[in-house]
Every structure is written in structure tokens, then in C-alpha cells.
Amino acid sequence: MNAKALILAAGAGTRMKSEKPKVAHEVLGKPLVRWVVDAAHDAGISDVISVLGHMSEKVAPLVESDTQIVIQTQQLGTGDAVNAAREAMTCEDGSIAEGSLVVLSGDCPLITPETISALVAKREQTNAAVVVLTMKMDDPFGYGRIVREGEGDSVARIVEQKDATPEEASINECNAGFYCFDAPALFDALSRITNDNAQGEYYLTDVLEICRNDGRDVLALVTDDAEEAMGVNSRIQLSQASVAMQHRINQRHMAAGVTMWDPSTVWIGPYVKIENDVELLPMTFLMGKTSVGRDSVIGPNTRLTDTVVGRGCRIDETVAEDARLDDRATSGPRAYLRPGTHLCEGAKAGTHVEIKKSTIGAGSKVPHLSYIGDTTMGSGVNIGAGSITCNYDGVSKHATVIGDDVFVGSDSMLVAPVTIGEGAIIGAASCITRDVEADALALERAEQRQIPGWASKHMAKLRDKKAQAQQAKAE
């Protein structure tokens, strides 16, 4: 494809009421401007230019890896923003590079690669000066109106809302804000536009009329889905775009064989990979670079971020970040898998269990009410309820090593650094501070004492004390 893309991302976005630039706000964990950059690349356009302005130092890190950055020093309108890329589009001989230039808005995350490709294809097939993407709106207020010439695809001009006559304001075909230009024609026309309008800005849309007066075709491509052109200028519109993208992503996964009881309660990020025959229950959130293997059931009330889930897993009421669960591992309900957690094949993290930077060996179980941190655990281990690996001494973290087939009794403390040998048994309520040999029983308990008759005498004293206090209060 002989086309370049220009992404306008210089605006302040004052209606966002934010300390960060508008295009850095996220839809499903991905910045607005990245959605547009990625759509251009997915359309087959490798050469992308980003026009930055307001808080450019915060936007640049989002696009600098795969786009060329130019700066609009003053925000004087869309025409001025595109003109900021003139030098980037100029060849060594001083001419503007031949070919198509697609102009996209960095605050419109729902644009698709297919629509971008269609814009380029129509311009190159017709050799038009510009093809503008348009949409039909039930309520066109606020959008630039498309004034057609005749019954064909030809566009006479685009009139902004504040400059429209009552007759022009009644038109329901609107400018979607995406264009494909013949690059030399575009920059020639930009040198001739003025800011003689209600806003005092240089409108990119004025280029269309100049191109027509030069005898070049200006054509429209009507999108079937006006949602693609949804711009994000407020927190309300950000939520609307998020819901629209949620629906689009969920539809794609369901079409590929993923079951969702209620898609409106399932949120999936753009980089998530899910195999078929996965079941996602309500209030499931899959974000970052999470992947889920076939036949796994996720949810309800589960959030996985950058987590790898194998096949046949059951993840119930779990929060996991940067964790790995191998085939047939289970987690929850109400489990917290922190970064570095690895549940090996068939391992279990149960109810009210927190695991951090630890490997739970194949078939090993941490069933309930336990904390495991900085631990390497072998296979076939059973951790009793209420047990803890005490990994922090107040200054540094220390490691615990538990061999295969170890049984740890309930309410045990393993004070790191410590190693428990294979097949050892730790008696319930033990505080283990030294290494335990393989096949040994380790116990650490204070001597149990009994004082006959103590309980009834103690309770009688308490009742007498209470009665005396009540009498004193009454007097």
C-alpha cells in the first residue's frame, strides 16, 4: 500500500478535566492514540506520523516506537495541525512525497483497519484529491455537514456547525473526521487556507473546496457504522467508547468459541488471547497480555492481568497479576496471586489464600487461609489452614524451600530462610525456624498445662466484679 498515515494528537481535551493529555486516557487499558496507531498499522500502513502538541512529553512515549513525531507549536486548528507535518512529508528535492496520506484523529479509538483500507483504495482507484469518510446521523448537531454536489459521491464542501446556515444545519450526513488525501494536493491547498471563520482557526475541511476549485475530485465514502467515528472529548464519551470496544471484542471472542453468560459483565483487553471452549462467568476482567487455555472456566468476580492460564483450569473469585497457572490448576474462591506466582499442573490455591513470587509444585495444595511468599514448593505438598511462610525480617526477603510430599499441619509458621526436606511432616501449630530433614516429624510447641477448677473460679470473680460495678453505678 503506497500510503502514509497522519494522526492528529495535539489537542488539550479540556472537557476531560484531567491532568494528563486526552489521547493518553485509556480504553480497556490501551491509550486512545495507540488504538488509532495500531489500526493504521493493521491496515498495512507502516509509515505513520503523529502530530503532538499539548503535553507532548506525555504523549510521545506512547507513539515514539513506531511513528515519526512532529510538534504543532500552537493549536490553531486541524489545518495547522496537518501543516505541521509538511517538513516530514517533504522530499530532498523540496517536493511533497507522492501517494496517499490518511489523516486520522487520535481521540477516535473505534476506527477500524478495514475502513482505513477502504479510504485508501477509493482514493487510489479514482485518483481523487481527497476521499472523506462520512456518516448519517439522527442528531447531527456539532458535526460538520457534508454538502453534496448532485446525486453521486462528489462533495461540494464541508460546513462546520457554527458556520452552517439553517438549510445546511438540517443536513444529516456528517463529516466523520477521517480523510485520505493525495499528499501533494493536500499541502498545496494548505498553503492557501485562511482562518476567516467563526472559530478563527485553520480548518482542514477548507482544503476540500480548494481542491474542487482546482478541478480535482472530492469524494465521500459513507461508513455503515457511525460508531467508528466516535470521538472522545469527555469522561462520558470515554465510557461510551469503552462499552463499544467491550462489545466489539466480546463478539469476536464469542464467534471464536468462547462462552459468556452475560457479555455485558465481561471485560477483555485488546491484547488478551483466549482459546475456544473457555467459559467466562459474570464480572470477569481479563487485561494486559493475559492468555487462557481451552476448557478453562474463569469467574465469577475474577480479575487477571498479564496472567497465563493453561487448559482445564478453574479460576474462581481470584485476583492475579503477572502469574502463571499450568494445566488443570485451580484458584479461589477469594484468592490473590501476586506477581511471580506459578501454580504447576494440578496445583491449588484455595479460599482466602495469598501467594507471592512462589512456585506451587504439581498437585500441591494451599487450600485455605494461608500466605506463601518467596517459596519454592515441590509436588504433592499439602499446606494446612492458616499456615504462613514468614519471608520478611523487616529489612530483607528470604526464601523457603519445601520438598516433595511434605505435609504442613494447620497454623504453622515457616520462618525463612528454611528448607523442609522431602516427605517431612510439620506438626500443627509449629513455628519452624531451622531446616527439617527429609522424612522427619518437626514439632515446636510450648508445654500444655492444666489447672483443675480454674475456669469456674475465674468466671465467678468476673461476675462479682461486674455486680459491684453495677451497684456502685446505681448508688
Residue 331, marked binder: no
- The contacts found for 13-18 with CB under 8 angstroms, 24 or more apart, are 13/54, 13/107, 13/233, 15/233, 15/234, 16/233, 16/234, 16/235, 16/238, 17/235
Q: How far apart are CA 421 and CA 401, in angstroms?
A: 8
Residue 72, marked binder: yes
The HSE-up count of residue 82 (CA atoms within 13 Å, CB side) is 32
Residue 361, marked binder: no
Alpha-carbon distance values, 239 to 60, 112, 181, 236, 452 (Å): 24, 19, 32, 5, 68
Q: How far apart are CA 323 and CA 306, in angstroms?
A: 7
Residue 428, marked binder: yes
Residue 145, marked binder: no
Residue 106, marked binder: yes
Decide if 88 contacts 70 (C-beta within 8 A): yes
Residue 157, marked binder: no
- The CA R_g of the chain, rounded to the nearest whole Å, is 32
DSSP 3-state of 89: helix
Residue 144, marked binder: yes
Residue 463, marked binder: no
Residue 105, marked binder: yes
Residue 10, marked binder: yes
Residue 392, marked binder: yes
Residue 380, marked binder: no
DSSP 3-state of 355: strand
Q: How far apart are CA 249 and CA 278, in angstroms?
A: 15
Question: To 10 degrees, what angle do helices 32-42 and 56-63 make?
Answer: 30
Active site residue 368: yes
Residue 410, marked binder: yes
Question: Which one is catalytic: 25, 253, 342, 368?
Answer: 368
Which residues neighbour 237 within 8 Å (Cβ) at sequence distance 6 or greater?
Answer: 230, 231
DSSP secondary structure code for residue 191 in this structure: T
CA 438 to chain centre: 46
Residue 205, marked binder: no
Which candidate, 342, 306, 341, 344, places its Cα nearest to that of 328? 344
Residue 175, marked binder: yes
Residue 5, marked binder: no
Residue 250, marked binder: no
Residue 424, marked binder: no
Q: How far apart are CA 307 and CA 415, in angstroms?
A: 29
Residue 294, marked binder: no
Q: How far apart are CA 397 and CA 354, in angstroms?
A: 16
Residue 22, marked binder: yes
Beta strands in 322-384 (DSSP E): 324-325, 330-331, 335-337, 342-343, 348-351, 353-356, 359-360, 365-368, 371-373, 375-377, 382-383
Phi and psi dihedrals of 60, rounded to 5? -55, -45
Q: How far apart are CA 285 and CA 277, in angstroms?
A: 17
Letter string b/e over residues 399-409, b meaning 16 or more CB atoms within 10 A of that residue's CB: bbbbbbbbbbb
Q: How far apart are CA 462 and CA 112, in angstroms?
A: 76
Extract the annotated binding site for acetyl-CoA: 385, 391-392, 410, 428, 445
Extract the annotated binding site: 8-11, 22, 72, 77-78, 105-107, 144, 160, 175, 233, 338, 356, 371, 382, 385, 391-392, 410, 428, 445
Active-site residues, by number, are 368
Extract the annotated binding site for UDP-N-acetyl-alpha-D-glucosamine: 8-11, 22, 72, 77-78, 105-107, 144, 160, 175, 233, 338, 356, 371, 382
Extract the annotated binding site for Mg(2+): 107, 233
